[in-house]
């Protein structure tokens, strides 16, 4: 059974065809529920790492962390944590995630973002480390990639673009180089209680990915979320419950073949400007 699991993991890592058009995958508190989109007006630290969005003007230090069960397979469980700090025009964000069981196989991702905001725009720089460990059964492999982002804010919309894998890294000398991936995120604030979020991702020689999400504030403490994405086709939904400056968020996504993915996460607002 373990040998089959390793064969599956190795095929997933090194097969070009298994990786669809998508942005850097870092687990976050709401993206599964919102079709892979991001709430750009009020991002969590993990969502900053995806979209290059700064913290709100009133926020200074924020932390979120969570747990994901993918497709009801404990071997693919994910734990993650992210932190963001805003100092005048700069936002610094860092995150760590781990997938798998240490006795079998683990994938660790580390991501660092430096964002500079001025007037209506934000420019971001990213460094991402991806590390695969097979508990001494196979040699460990890893890669380091670089990315850039640009965001524009307007009273009627927020638009962010992220370009990943500028250096086109590879896990080994013989494995394919990673394609550059361009992802667009958008938000239409709409009415006060409604937010529509969008995403589009593309890379060479692969299918484009689309996503749309909707957030509906139903009370002072509760927000409903739902969304849809393609490549692969998935449906999502969830709820955010807020207490003072802190929140607990549950979301889930459904893959027609692989089944459900669940995420429970916590958001803590520690300091304000």
Percentage of the chain modeled with pLDDT above 70: 90
- Whether 84 shows a pLDDT value over 80: the answer reads yes
- Whether 149 shows a pLDDT value over 90: the answer reads yes
CB 252 within 8 A of CB 236: yes
Give the range with max mean pLDDT: 111-120, 136-145, 166-175. 111-120
d(CA 145, CA 111): 10
Phi first, then psi: give them for residue 217, nearest 5 degrees: -80, 115
pLDDT of residue 9: 52
Average pLDDT over residues 236-255: 93
- Rounded-to-5 percentages of helix, strand, coil across the chain: 10, 55, 35
d(CA 31, CA 253): 9
- Whether 7 shows a pLDDT value over 60: the answer reads no
pLDDT of residue 183: 96
- Report the helix count and the strand count for the chain, using DSSP H and E: 2, 14
Average pLDDT over residues 25-51: 91
- Whether 17 shows a pLDDT value over 60: the answer reads no
Number of CB atoms found within 10 A of residue 8's CB: 12
Average pLDDT over residues 39-48: 94
Instruction: Grade residue 59 by pLDDT with cuts at 50, 70 and 90.
Output: confident
pLDDT of residue 227: 96
Single pTM value for the model: 0.88
DSSP-derived letter for residue 233 is: T
Q: Which residue has the higher pLDDT, 127 or 193?
A: 127
Instruction: Grade residue 14 by pLDDT with cuts at 50, 70 and 90.
Output: very low
List the structure tokens of 91. Answer: 């936002």
d(CA 83, CA 79): 14
């Amino acid at each position: 059974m373990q040998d089959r699991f390793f064969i599956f993991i190795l095929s997933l890592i090194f097969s070009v065809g298994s990786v669809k058009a998508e942005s850097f995958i870092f687990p976050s508190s709401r993206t599964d529920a919102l079709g892979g989109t991001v709430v750009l007006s009020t991002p969590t630290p993990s969502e900053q790492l995806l979209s290059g969005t700064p913290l709100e003007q009133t926020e200074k230090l924020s932390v979120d962390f969570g747990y994901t069960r993918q497709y009801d397979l404990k071997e693919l469980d994910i734990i993650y944590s992210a932190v963001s700090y805003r100092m005048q025009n700069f936002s610094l964000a860092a995150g760590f995630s781990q997938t798998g069981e240490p006795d079998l196989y683990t994938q660790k991702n580390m991501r660092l973002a430096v964002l500079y905001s001025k007037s209506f725009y934000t420019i971001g720089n990213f460094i991402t480390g991806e590390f695969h460990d097979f508990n001494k059964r196979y040699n460990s492999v890893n890669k380091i990639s670089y990315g850039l982002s640009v965001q524009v804010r307007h009273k009627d919309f927020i638009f962010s673009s992220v370009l990943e894998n500028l250096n086109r890294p590879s896990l080994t000398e013989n494995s394919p180089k990673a394609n550059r991936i361009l992802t667009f995120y958008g938000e239409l604030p709409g009415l006060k209680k409604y937010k529509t979020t969008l995403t589009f991702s593309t890379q060479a020689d692969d299918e484009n990915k689309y996503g749309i999400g909707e957030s509906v504030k139903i009370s002072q403490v509760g927000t409903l979320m739902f969304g849809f994405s393609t490549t692969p086709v998935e449906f999502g939904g969830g709820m955010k419950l807020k207490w003072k400056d802190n929140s607990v968020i549950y979301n889930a996504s459904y893959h027609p073949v692989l089944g459900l993915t669940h995420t429970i996460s916590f958001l803590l607002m520690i300091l304000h400007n």
